[in-house]
A and B are shown apart, each in its own frame.
Chain A
Amino acid sequence: MTEKLLINALENEAIYIFREVAAQFEKPVLLFSGGKDSITLVRLAQKAFYPAKIPFPLMHIDTGHNFPETIEFRDKLVAELGLELIVRNVQDSIDQGKVKEESGRYSSRNVLQTTTLLDAIEEFKFDACIGGARRDEEKARAKERIFSVRDDFGQWDEKNQRPELFDMLNGQIQLGQNVRVFPISNWTELDVWTYIENEDLEIPSIYFAHKRDIFMRDGLIWSASEHVFKDDEEEVEERMVRFRTVGDMSCTAAVSSYASTIREVVAEIRDSSISERGARIDDKRSEAAMEKRKQQGYF
């Protein structure tokens, strides 16, 4: 037995939040993308409920344009930990005519995910959706609550949010409403990476430097893939790259890197002069892009 428990303030806060979710809601779900933030969430949930299993399922909204490495990783993690996984596909929403595929140079399925997500929440009657969003990611997210109430239409009313005092979380909602929960709200990108290093967590291979066919556009490194629109003039070359976030292939740019271990990745992030979202093509659409998407029910 170890003498005294030394605590990591952020980890302890997240565990507290997970336990509040399990206690206050009837049907929670953990939104899992296979990215580093949601992998961190799974680890924290395990710690919150040990020696019991995580008392809620994971759900992945699959755009169909994910990196294959992420999907492979997702299935392996779920099998190893004996977790329940629900997958809902953006392709189905397109086939049902609920959303229309974007076309053109910057087409992406990123925005389309919202419809699939809201339909899945209704299908399973989820009352709490746990997500890995962090306040340091983006300006609109800096205003997000830990328990963030969404109305019947899944929408976020940023001007009318419940105040959160001390660590008291008010999860009382009306029928049809749901709450988005963000246990790692107060973590920074570096906090997440340091945690992954300390906990020795496995992550998808695309976070490490690898050779990949890419092309340059608007100063960003795009993955050359059937899911990404490319002009004939845009030349494909092979380069050593890695990804800092794992989104849809069509909206996630790579960075040049030789970091092949977690330690090297952490060192690289520490010295980095570009923010994580600087490599998110979806945020470049406009200064208020994220805020608009959130109001409509995005993650």
Chain B
Amino acid sequence: MEVLKIATAGSVDDGKSTLIGRLLYDTKSLTDDKLEAIEHSSKKKGYDYLDFSLATDGLVAEREQGITIDVAHIYFSTKTRSYIIADTPGHVEYTRNMVTGASTSQVAIILIDARHGVIEQTYRHFFINNLLRIKSVIVCINKMDLVGFSEERYDEIKADFEKLVDKSDYEDQNITYIPVSALKGDNVVDKSDAMPWFGGQTLLEYLEKLDTVNIYNRGKMRFPVQYVIRPKTEEFHDFRGYAGKVYGGDINVGDEVVVLPSETRTKVKEIYFNDKKYQSAARRSSISITLENNVNVSRGDMIVKANELPRIEKAFTAKVCWMCSKPLVAGSKYVLQHGINKVLAKVSEIHHKIETDFSGVDTQVSSLQINDIASVSFQLNKPIFFDAFKEHRTNGAFILIDPQTNNTSGVGFIE
């Protein structure tokens, strides 16, 4: 079954957890014991409605403060497909979590409180979805019950959001608007009786009909070698299988390929998945392959089609989102992990900070604080094999690891 991953973004109090709870409730994904716990908890707090946010806010600290502070994963399925919701916090200091949740999602839901309309937070959420190249964005205008289910208000907010879309440089992105009331259940799973003026699909209807082929950004085939399988048994004495995941496009037996960095040309001899051989494997398959010639391949090398070479360079500029309390400064050194390949990187220059409000204002800065996004140039100790992030959502991204703490300190999107 196909799995669709959805990132949610919203501000504090715009009802994100309630929307997710409503999706679970109306798709009958909440089991009796979970429902019972929600009823019990809602009653204890003196609510006269079910507090669905309790279905998603996991950690003790969150229950105490009533806010979501980390990425939580929520699962539900319909007869059509399985869904994973990455519930990412909308609070201003948590850009890092939003970027994290969005990095593995194909769809994003942006929530807007109908009373407040498009606010600065909305700019930021949309900006991050754009930065991460999320192909389908659903704008849920929530709390419609509190604005009298007004079509006029919906049109107003939609028009405001479209002004943001005009500033975006991501042309393939699909944007949909849905007026909902998560609390009352309007247009989440079931069509709203209170908004007969809305002719579009409900949130779930829209998700169910999303074409799973077109929700992914495509790119050139990239096969980074994760692990070399050498059984050294009698039956497989000389077997050398190159294990890895296929990115971007298909790989086929007989394909003319180049192994990087040695630039050796050879052909794909066999494609294995477990003990079976295949003629062809699509993107996202974890396979192992053998090659026609006996070439030297090790972890971190990349196999690409002979006529589709990536950029092979030791220096580049990237947009970096900083995720660590220790600031990023020019001259500092990090371990740069590009896919599975690790190299050493030096920050050669911080060009400017990028504002997430589409204002286009570039502020000159000398350091990058947590949750800042900036344009940064790097120098590496050896070349990596990459594409621009806009052309390849996986082969254009990297993380920076602090060599002292080993923490993942930032993420970059190569220009």
Contacts and interface: CB of A to CB of B under 8 A. Distances in A.
Interface stretch (B154-162, B354-362, B399-407): B399-407
Contact of A275 (B31, B97, B337, B394): B31
B276 A2 contact: yes
B231 interface: yes
Bin chain A's interface residue count: 35 or more
A165 B408 contact: yes
Contacts of A4: 278-282
Given A7-B282, A16-B245, A164 B100 contact: yes
B286 A50 contact: no
Contacts of B59: 139-140, 143, 158-159, 291
Interface in A92-133: none
A114 B5 CA distance: 33
Interface of A: 1-5, 7-13, 15-16, 19-20, 22-23, 46-53, 135-136, 139-140, 142-143, 158-159, 161-168, 170, 172-174, 185-186, 188, 190-191, 272-275, 278, 287-288, 291
Contact of B33 (A1, A10, A274): A274
B261 interface: no
Contact of B339 (A163, A168, A291): A168
A143 B277 contact: no
B3 A9 contact: yes
Interface in B181-208: none
A135 B74 CA distance: 8
A5 B245 CA distance: 13
A251 to B, nearest CB: 16
Interface stretch (B235-243, B304-312, B374-382): B235-243
B202 to A, nearest CB: 23
B399 A48 contact: no
Contact of A51 (B3, B233, B280, B335): B233
B84 A186 contact: yes
A11 B274 CA distance: 11
B34 to A, nearest CB: 6
B245 A12 contact: yes
Interface string B282-297: 1011111000000000
Contacts of B60: 288, 291
Interface residues of B, number: 77
B344 interface: no
A172 B406 contact: yes
A225 B257 CA distance: 62
- Which 5 A-B pairs have CB atoms at the shortest separation, nearest pair first? A139-B58, A15-B286, A278-B33, A52-B231, A172-B406
A23 B227 contact: yes
Nearest to A8: B1
Given A167-B104, A172-B335, A142 B401 contact: no
A218 B410 CA distance: 49
B39 to A, nearest CB: 14
B43 interface: no
B103 interface: yes
Given A5-B287, A143-B58, A170-B337, 20 more contacts: A2-B276, A3-B278, A4-B279, A5-B273, A5-B278, A16-B286, A20-B340, A47-B274, A50-B288, A51-B231, A51-B241, A52-B229, A166-B104, A166-B393, A166-B397, A172-B335, A188-B77, A275-B34, A287-B37, A291-B59
A4 B283 CA distance: 12
Interface stretch (B9-17, B65-73, B113-121, B139-147): B65-73
B316 interface: no
A16 B287 CA distance: 9
B9 to A, nearest CB: 16
B32 interface: yes
Contact of A188 (B69, B82, B97, B276): B82
A124 to B, nearest CB: 22
B268 interface: no
Contact of A186 (B73, B233, B275): B73
Q: Which of A10, A23, A159, A272 has the most CB of B within 10 A?
A: A23
A77 B333 CA distance: 48
Interface centre among B100, B393, B397 (most CB of A within 10 A): B100
A288 B62 CA distance: 12
A190 B78 CA distance: 12
A22 B227 contact: yes
A82 to B, nearest CB: 11
